[in-house]
Structure 1
Amino acid sequence: MKRRLVAVGATLLVLMAEAGTVAPASFAQRYALTLSGSAAYYRLTLPPQVYAASQRSDLGDLRILNGAGESLPFSLESPSAPAPLRRAVLTPLNWFAVPTTGEATDRARLGVSLDANGTLHAEVGAPTGKKRNGDAVLVDLGNDGEVAALWVRLRNERYQGQVLVEASNDLNQWQSVAEAVLLKASAGDKRLAQERLALDGVRRRYLRLSWPDGAPEIAAIEAEAIVLEAVADAQPAPLLWHASAPVRAGDSAGEYLFDSGGAYPVESLRVDLPQGNTIAKVSIQSRDDLRAAWRDVGAGTVFRLQGKKGEEVSSPLRLNAMPSRYWRMQVDMRNGGIGREMPKVMLGWRPAMLTFVARGSPPFTLGIGNATLTSAAQRRADLLMGEHPEIGNASVEALLTTVVKQQTVTAPDNTRKPVLWVGLIIAVAALGAVAWHLARSTVSADKAG
């Protein structure tokens, strides 16, 4: 009897677990995906309708599903351009050795002269060639911007000594900016040298080098500047322009409200003014929902002017890329505003690139539109495995309107639920009957004993 009780209880637990399974949230929309070629990974550019259907500003409600309804790993790449390359550029500098005798205000003027634009020149009798111990060195950086480091090329075969670096704009007021040890040594055919002085972006015109351990023989002095170069063939995708919902007036004068209609990562905004010969200063704010506080994302001047060559309008305003749905434009009313009619607004944005693992069998689909979900996207570096991962192309095709509204990701067949509940009720009744019978048997046995 006890065995029958345990078996019925186990059956009851299985039925309860299956009947009480919480199905993953359904999506507002689901789109069929078409894959080209045969690969482990596929990528696609997200179309506007995905942004419009999303209920989260970070596209956190997006999922990629296979034919079994399983959620697949994917990454989302922002559409921004890659960081520029940093390259060090060395430029030869003019430098002069000057005796360190006299007061500090006299040191800079011994052996050098200044022309009208501040450039240093050697005077007759200025030291050249080998430098005496105790001599300081003046370096003219010019007006080329920040200097990351100074390279002091040593003529000595062997040298080790400290150097103190001061900076000035007028050769009178000096400020200490760095100190280091220069080194040059050799052993057989091997050479060891430390000739770089880090300056961390000094913007002064002149440097003065002094040598507590004795001055070395200097062959040349060079400035190291960091140049940023754009990555070749790595420009971001062109902007897509999307018209906002009609602009409406806010509660205060000069306040205009509009809805982007989706989680578009807006980075540019074009304002079409209603009247010609209008100039206005504007500030732009956005927010994710109607209860959130406004945040500043950009400001500028917009205009629409009539001239001899036709009408001229202002360039689009550049914004901090912000995937917000609700927007506000505030016009500075001190110059009269923009008139009574409403402006028109166009939003510029770049779509993200999605890459996913094609695990399982097709059809593959993209689900979007449920604010209760959180982002499942991962870094592309964590997604792509193997030495040379093959990536095919995918595209978003038809909207699956007949499936989307109630279909869930891995929910059990809804037709099974009534059967499960009936089985659950029967199991509960059977369990109760077995327990009651077992209790009576126990009581009878006690009486008999």
Structure 2
Amino acid sequence: MKRFLIVTGWCVAISFMATPPVAAAADYFARRFALELDSGAAYYSIKLPAAAYAASRRGDLGDVRVFNGAGEPVPYSLDAPRDAARTPPTLRTVRWFPLPVTAADSAGAPLGVTIAADGSLRTTAAPPARAQHDTDLVDLGHVAGEAGALVVHLRNDNYQGRVTVESSNDLRSWQPAGDAQLLKVTYNGSTLSQDRIALDAVRARYVRLRWLDGAPYIESIDLEVQTASADRAQRADTQREWREGIVAHAGPTAGEYFFETGGPYPVDRLRLNLPQPNTVAPAIVYSRPSLQTPWREVSNATLYRLHNGPVEQSNPSIEVAADTDRQWRVVVDTRNGGLGSGALTIAAGWRPATLTFVARGSAPFTLEVGSEAVVSSAVSREDLLMGASSVAVAARLGEALPVAPDDADAQSANKDKDAMRRYVLWAALLLAVGSLGVIAWRLARGARVAADAAGNAPGATADKAGNAGRADGTGQSNRKA
């Protein structure tokens, strides 16, 4: 027992020697960026750059830090963008007037249309023949809000064409107001439709639609009137950043494609670009944070890329709830040929988080990210500002800075220490097992020697002989009897 305790003590001592204290864990950061500050304010904020997302090794961005010139971390908050309430736009049916080619550019009211005292339009002639019709004049009326889009309901079973939009308040001077492509295609009993013409903040009374690929048969036209909340949501869409050119690789099963975003981006939009024109295929999109977790469905859509002369249209981007998963999977229905040959490419869009920090200490300040040793130390924005009336001033992201050689050496040294620690622990384990085996063998051998010594003692031999004689005498007595 004494030897066993001695060996155990040595093994425990070796293990402690091989394991460094927790405080020795390296706070190594993979990327460093300069932060440019103005005005000497107390608080600054910056949209977290895409490079920080790419360098982060945590799904919650817990390895983001801001340091001052003395290398001290400063307090900070990290806030995801808040989604504006999306109130459905108001739809109102508007009147439209087909115009012949010769009348579209006439000054004032075009041929076949008159203007009433209240500004409304009235028709005075039959609509032009199809061969002479390439423009439609739309009377938006009095809009209580902002004209967001025109929704054109087509009678055509199949239509694909481009349209340019102009606006005016007097039918004399016209201003460009955007362009769009309309689509209506029937596929496997369902209809693919793109019937919305976005208006670039139009506040005019009249809109003119010029059809570049032949005028469609229009059933009706609705006007989307945006509320203030819808307008905020639309502005938020313009703040989205995109990572383009992600190439998906085909999986082992037909119609299966895999890709990675390359960081914990809070992806809420996906553009799937099909490799071949004239392709239509339903698809389901899955994601997961790592290889060890199961897939979960996040969206489904019908993907298409249709070509008609100079017009080519593709499916709109897919909306998903903000998703920081890195692993993505697209499963395409292959019953009609799938996507064909070529590479499926993806663009991932997200709205970046806002980093707010206190400018404590002296400059220069740096943004650092990408550490396996640290955990999140962010506080809420309310706790950070502490009711301060001052508004956080916008900071600017400067150039990428080299990682300090000391940090790189520390990382390399820690890797070497980790490897050495593993080797020493294995050696200690093998030594302990071997020692225990030797002790067990020696104990067993000692037990056998003791048993043999007890069996060969003189007293034990005499007892054996006496017992044998008594056995013989008993046997003879029995035979005489």
TM-score for the superposition, normalised by structure 2: 0.48
Between the aligned partners of 1:390 and 1:327, the Cα distance in structure 2 is: 39
Match of 2:229 in 1: 230
1:377-419: per-residue Cα shift (whole Å, max 9, x none)? 222122112341242221221222141771699x9xx9xxxxx
Between the aligned partners of 1:310 and 1:65, the Cα distance in structure 2 is: 52
Q: Measure how far apart 1:357 and its partner are.
A: 0.9
Partner residue of 1:57 out of 36, 56, 59: 59
Match of 1:35 in 2: 37
**Contact preservation (8 Å) 1:29, 1:367:** yes
Q: Measure how far apart 1:35 and its partner are.
A: 0.7
Q: Measure how far apart 1:250 and its partner are.
A: 0.9
Partner residue of 2:71 out of 53, 69, 77: 69
| 349 and 401 in structure 1: CA distance in 2 versus 1, 3 angstrom threshold | same
Between the aligned partners of 1:403 and 1:343, the Cα distance in structure 2 is: 40
Between the aligned partners of 2:266 and 2:353, the Cα distance in structure 1 is: 9
Q: Measure how far apart 1:232 and its partner are.
A: 6.8
Match of 1:377 in 2: 378
Give the 5 Å matches for 1:355-374. 355-374=356-375
Give the 5 Å matches for 1:340-359. 340-359=341-360
| SS state at 1:51 partner | helix
Match of 2:273 in 1: 272
Between the aligned partners of 1:32 and 1:286, the Cα distance in structure 2 is: 34
| SS state at 2:24 partner | coil
**Correspondence 1:46 to 2:48:** yes
**Contact preservation (8 Å) 1:32, 1:364:** yes
Match of 1:395 in 2: 396
Report the AA paired with residue 382 of structure 1. D
Q: Measure how far apart 1:44 and its partner are.
A: 0.6
Q: Measure how far apart 1:373 and its partner are.
A: 2.5
Report the AA paired with residue 262 of structure 2. G
Q: Measure how far apart 1:53 and its partner are.
A: 0.6
Count residues in correspondence: 253
Between the aligned partners of 2:301 and 2:294, the Cα distance in structure 1 is: 21
Between the aligned partners of 1:233 and 1:338, the Cα distance in structure 2 is: 37
Unaligned runs of at least 5 residues, structure 2: 1-20, 88-226, 415-481
| 383 and 231 in structure 1: CA distance in 2 versus 1, 3 angstrom threshold | farther
Q: Measure how far apart 1:20 and its partner are.
A: 8.7
Give the 5 Å matches for 1:428-439. none
Match of 1:185 in 2: none
**Correspondence 1:281 to 2:279:** no
Q: Measure how far apart 1:49 and its partner are.
A: 0.7
Match of 1:303 in 2: 304
**Contact preservation (8 Å) 1:66, 1:362:** yes
Report the AA paired with residue 243 of structure 2. H
**Contact preservation (8 Å) 1:244, 1:261:** no
| 28 and 405 in structure 1: CA distance in 2 versus 1, 3 angstrom threshold | farther
Match of 1:82 in 2: 84
**Contact preservation (8 Å) 2:246, 2:347:** no
Q: Please tell me whether Structure 1 or Structure 2 has the larger radius of gyration of its CA atoms.
A: 2
**Correspondence 1:250 to 2:234:** no
1:211-255: per-residue Cα shift (whole Å, max 9, x none)? xxxxxxxxxxxxxxxxx9618757425222212542111121111
Match of 1:313 in 2: 314
| SS state at 2:382 partner | helix
**Contact preservation (8 Å) 1:27, 1:404:** no
1:413-437: per-residue Cα shift (whole Å, max 9, x none)? x9xxxxxxxxxxxxxxxxxxxxxxx
Between the aligned partners of 1:404 and 1:28, the Cα distance in structure 2 is: 12
Give the 5 Å matches for 1:97-108. none
Between the aligned partners of 2:39 and 2:382, the Cα distance in structure 1 is: 23
Q: Measure how far apart 1:314 and its partner are.
A: 0.8
Q: What's the % identity of the aligned pairs?
A: 42
Q: Measure how far apart 1:292 and its partner are.
A: 2.2
| SS state at 1:64 partner | strand
**Contact preservation (8 Å) 1:25, 1:408:** no
Give the 5 Å matches for 1:210-229. none
Between the aligned partners of 2:265 and 2:406, the Cα distance in structure 1 is: 23
Between the aligned partners of 1:276 and 1:328, the Cα distance in structure 2 is: 22
| SS state at 2:259 partner | strand
**Contact preservation (8 Å) 1:42, 1:358:** yes
| 83 and 74 in structure 1: CA distance in 2 versus 1, 3 angstrom threshold | farther
Report the AA paired with residue 363 of structure 1. P
| SS state at 1:373 partner | coil
**Contact preservation (8 Å) 1:267, 1:318:** yes
| 255 and 318 in structure 1: CA distance in 2 versus 1, 3 angstrom threshold | same
Unaligned runs of at least 5 residues, structure 1: 1-18, 86-227, 415-449
| 404 and 368 in structure 1: CA distance in 2 versus 1, 3 angstrom threshold | farther
**Contact preservation (8 Å) 1:271, 1:345:** yes
Structure 1 runs of 4+ aligned residues shifted over 4 Å read 231-234
**Contact preservation (8 Å) 2:276, 2:341:** no
Q: Measure how far apart 1:65 and its partner are.
A: 1.1
Q: Measure how far apart 1:376 and its partner are.
A: 1.9
Match of 2:458 in 1: none
| 303 and 84 in structure 1: CA distance in 2 versus 1, 3 angstrom threshold | closer
Between the aligned partners of 1:244 and 1:264, the Cα distance in structure 2 is: 15
CA RMSD in angstroms comes to: 3.0
Match of 1:406 in 2: 407
1:58-111: per-residue Cα shift (whole Å, max 9, x none)? 2111111112222221111212433469xxxxxxxxxxxxxxxxxxxxxxxxxx
Q: Measure how far apart 1:267 and its partner are.
A: 0.8
Report the AA paired with residue 67 of structure 2. L
Match of 1:137 in 2: none
**Contact preservation (8 Å) 1:27, 1:407:** no
1:338-383: per-residue Cα shift (whole Å, max 9, x none)? 1132211111112111101111112211110023432222221221
Report the AA paired with residue 261 of structure 1. G
Between the aligned partners of 1:271 and 1:84, the Cα distance in structure 2 is: 25
Between the aligned partners of 1:20 and 1:330, the Cα distance in structure 2 is: 45
Between the aligned partners of 1:20 and 1:322, the Cα distance in structure 2 is: 33
| 54 and 29 in structure 1: CA distance in 2 versus 1, 3 angstrom threshold | same
Between the aligned partners of 1:294 and 1:270, the Cα distance in structure 2 is: 20
Match of 1:116 in 2: none
